[in-house]
Amino acid sequence: MRFIVAGDAGATHSQLRAGMLRIQQQRPIDGVLLVGDNFYPCGVQSTIDPQWSKITEHFGPLHVPIYPVLGNHDYGDPQMRGAELWTCGPTDPQAELDESERIPEWHFPARNYTLHSPLVDIIMIDTQPIASGFELPFRGSATASQERQFLERELAGSQAVWRIVAGHHTIFSSGIHGRTNDSLRKNMRALLPMLRSRGTGADLYICGHDHDLELLGDRTGRVRPLFLVSGAGSGSGTMKRRVASEPPTLFPSPLETFLGFAVLDVSPAALTITFYDKQGTQHGLPLTITRRVR
């Protein structure tokens, strides 16, 4: 199976289109994993919001299924200001799920869902409640506790060769969010024992949020998961060196940012990740990890 992984593309209509079409023409893909911030700056307000052209013009020409998750901007970028939860507008995250009835390529059945196959289970999670520590539902979300229960249940029940988790918020990255020691980062890193659990952990965690492309983790694949950041769909952030105790950066070396996306190839024997810029030009060599015995 072969997927384009793109994120944080909601500020543009076609920044990645030429590159994605080039990759599709070279070797067909099976779908797009869209890892949040699908609409900047404040999400959409309805299924007829004019911003839906960002999806139809940007990803529609690929004519493959699009599998999204929500990002913080799809919720209106919620932030605590004093004792109140602030958002940038009256966005309606539920409209992104309801849009599946209008755009045939848009497959968004629930805020949390799993793409099941004997080869790979891809667990798509809404990380906003986890990152923000929601104790109560917000704009139709689950609570943080319910999100963690869903993820634990799906990981434990997976019988596929590979287990992949895809969300929006970073756990480790060299971008600004990965380097900011705040409550959001702490809440996301609290998932690590579950993701690293022997026998039921994940092989790969995919996210966006930081506006760059990066792969982090153990090159040998003995320590799982690896962490793939693909949030360079609209703009580029700044990457900086991190503390040595965190998983090392496997790509890029040296640290650089550019608009682009990743391609994930999944076979019974290996996961292979390749990075491309917005024109579809490959950057660096593909990185491959082989299947481990559980």
Q: Give the confidence band of 229 by pLDDT, cuts at 50, 70, 90.
A: very high
Tens-place pLDDT, residues 60-107 = 999 999 999 999 999 999 988 888 889 998 899 999 999 988 899 999
Q: Are strands 66-69 and 31-35 parallel, antiparallel or unpaired?
A: parallel
Q: Which residues pair with 266 in a beta bridge?
A: 271
- DSSP string spanning 165-225? EE-SS-SS-SSHHHH--SHHHHHHHTTHHHHT-TTT--SEEEE-SSSSEEEES-TTSSS--
Q: What is the mean pLDDT of residues 250-276?
A: 96
As a whole number of angstroms, the distance between CA 14 and CA 19 comes to: 10
Q: Are 181 and 204 in contact (CB under 8 A)?
A: no
- DSSP string spanning 226-250? EEEEE--SS---------TTSPPEE
* Residue 7, pLDDT score: 97
Is the pLDDT reported for residue 294 higher than 70?
no
Look over the chain and give the mean of its residue pLDDT values, rounded to a whole number. 95
**To which CATH superfamily is domain 2-290 assigned?**
Metallo-dependent phosphatases (3.60.21.10)
Q: What is the mean pLDDT of residues 10-17?
A: 93
Is the pLDDT reported for residue 293 higher than 80?
no
- 262-to-33, 130, 172 alpha-carbon distances in Å: 10, 25, 17
The full set of domain ranges for the chain reads: 2-290
Q: Are 268 and 246 in contact (CB under 8 A)?
A: no
Q: Are 210 and 173 in contact (CB under 8 A)?
A: yes
As a whole number of angstroms, the distance between CA 152 and CA 165 comes to: 11
Q: Are 256 and 214 in contact (CB under 8 A)?
A: no
pLDDT-above-70 percentage for the chain = 99
As a whole number of angstroms, the distance between CA 138 and CA 12 comes to: 27
* Residue 83, pLDDT score: 80
Q: Give the confidence band of 123 by pLDDT, cuts at 50, 70, 90.
A: very high
